Amino acid sequence: MEFDSSSSIWDGVYYHSHLFGGLMLTAALLGLSSSYFGGLGSSYLPYMLSDLGFFYKKKCEKKRIRVYMDGCFDLMHYGHANALRQAKALGDELVVGVVSDEEIVANKGPPVLSMEERLALVSGLKWVDEVIANAPYAITEKFMKSLFNEHKIDYIIHGDDPCLLPDGTDAYALAKTAGRYKQIKRTEGVSSTDIVGRILSSLKDAEACENHDNTSSLPVDDHKESQSNSSHISQFLPTSRRIVQFSNGKGPGPNARVVYIDGAFDLFHAGHVEILRSARQLGDFLLVGIHTDQIVSEHRGKGHPIMHLHERSLSVLACSYVDEVIIGAPWEVTRDMVTTFNISLVVHGTVAESNSLLAGESDPYAVPKSMGIFRMLDSLKNITTTSVAQRIVANHDAYLKRNAKKAESEKKYYAEKVHVSGD
């Protein structure tokens, strides 16, 4: 396989500048004698020394490492974000390939999110520098040459979990053979397959609860109900280190205009990215309140949220428009909150889940409204957590089949997994 080598001479100058510099200096000194260069005298010395300075300047310029990572990024979650965070740490610039809808259908089954939605999610991550749309599922020789020559990629990155094509071959075999492959650690406890399973399980639980309410005289099998509730419980174990890795680690300046927005941010989607971008544009620092699991469950019903508090917090923290989050924010925005966080503006999107207030519950934004610091933001997308879940319901059989296939590989991975250092 041949790759672009037109810059190999200058790369040699870069990596062996001491040798080229020595040759140029010798030539310059010899140039003082016309016997060596047939009349070439000291008048040429400044020009040769200026060329020598070019070589030393070239040496001082650090080569920026460009790394590439691809994926379907369907039902974007904090595991995807953590993979891209790790990939970015292996270079200076991260280029992300988003696999096309057609390739996903051929290799995994129907995607839940459209290409446009998946691009919005990936582009909105704080570690991503460039995005390539409609990337192939497998690294072909043609595409790999394109990455190396056109996109100037130095290394191709993937997680330590195997990525196999339908014929059983390794999707990254060519990159490994070329010696341009690096591996990162898979984020435990979550996958798109797992999330689809949680959604289907929560809908089943909700239906069972509704049927029970309609036939309350019938006996309930508590053991069976318990098994249903626990079949798709998150395996994610939150740590303070992971939160630090996702955090910006900076607070607002003394005169910063702090904008506050709150919500469940369950099944983080393109609508969330757009509303967070709009909110960030209204100030210097965006503070996001993430409601507790209990609050979300009280307002949305049994089976919600799909993602628990820490999972939702990491997904929001990974967004490039977010500066800080409140993990477990209260339902009501109080005057004490406004003072404590020096909030200048409280915003809320026009598109949200159809949550009605609980009996006797007051407006959660009554205080900022009374203070004249509340504003409704036009939501640019109609997508909601419920609408995403409904897409899966609409293709129930297809996703059940897809999940049954993936569940086996997930089970095998966890049964055979070994500790991998570093993340």
- pLDDT tens track for 312-331: 999 999 999 999 999 999 99
Least confident of 9-13, 63-67, 190-194, 417-421: 9-13
Residue ranges in 91-163 assigned as alpha helix (H): 101-107, 115-123, 141-149
* φ, ψ at 250 (rounded to 5°): -130, 140
**Confidence category of residue 97, pLDDT binned at 50, 70, 90:** very high
Q: Hey, how many other C-beta atoms are within 10 angstroms of the C-beta on 31?
A: 18
Q: Which residues pair with 374 in a beta bridge?
A: 346
- Closest residue by Cα to residue 262 from 348, 141, 354: 348
Number of residues that make up the chain: 423
Determine the residue type at 70. D
Label residues 132-148 b or e (16+ Cβ within 10 Å = b): beebbbbbeeebbbebb
Alpha-carbon span 392 to 193, nearest angstrom: 12
**Confidence category of residue 47, pLDDT binned at 50, 70, 90:** very low
pTM for the structure as a whole = 0.77
Q: How far is CA 152 from CA 26, 59, 95, 156, in A?
A: 35, 19, 10, 11
Between these two residues, 204 and 81, which has the higher pLDDT value? 81
Is residue 323 within 8 Å of 287, Cβ to Cβ? yes
Could you please report the per-residue DSSP string of 371-404? Answer: TT-EEEE--S----HHHHHHHHHHTHHHHHHHHH
**Confidence category of residue 364, pLDDT binned at 50, 70, 90:** very high
pLDDT of residue 22: 55
Tokens for 43, please give them.
């008048």
Is residue 178 within 8 Å of 1, Cβ to Cβ? yes
Q: Hey, how many other C-beta atoms are within 10 angstroms of the C-beta on 324?
A: 18
Determine the residue type at 133. A
DSSP label of 64: P
Residue ranges in 150-258 assigned as alpha helix (H): 173-177, 192-214, 222-230, 240-246
pLDDT of residue 392: 86
Kindly state the percentage of the chain with pLDDT values over 70: 71
**Confidence category of residue 217, pLDDT binned at 50, 70, 90:** very low
Alpha-carbon span 274 to 262, nearest angstrom: 14
Tokens for 390, please give them.
């409904």
DSSP label of 118: H
Instruction: Determine the straight-line distance between the first and last CA of the chain, rounded to whole angstroms.
Output: 32
**Confidence category of residue 21, pLDDT binned at 50, 70, 90:** low
Alpha-carbon span 226 to 224, nearest angstrom: 5
- Say whether pLDDT at 337 is over 80: yes
**Element (DSSP H or E) covering residue 182:** strand 181-184
Least confident of 309-318, 375-384, 389-398: 389-398
Mean pLDDT of 62-75: 93
pLDDT of residue 147: 97
**Confidence category of residue 404, pLDDT binned at 50, 70, 90:** low
DSSP label of 135: E
Tokens for 388, please give them.
């995403």
Alpha-carbon span 279 to 277, nearest angstrom: 5
pLDDT of residue 10: 43
Q: What share of the chain is helix, strand, coil (3-state, %, to 5)?
A: 45, 15, 40
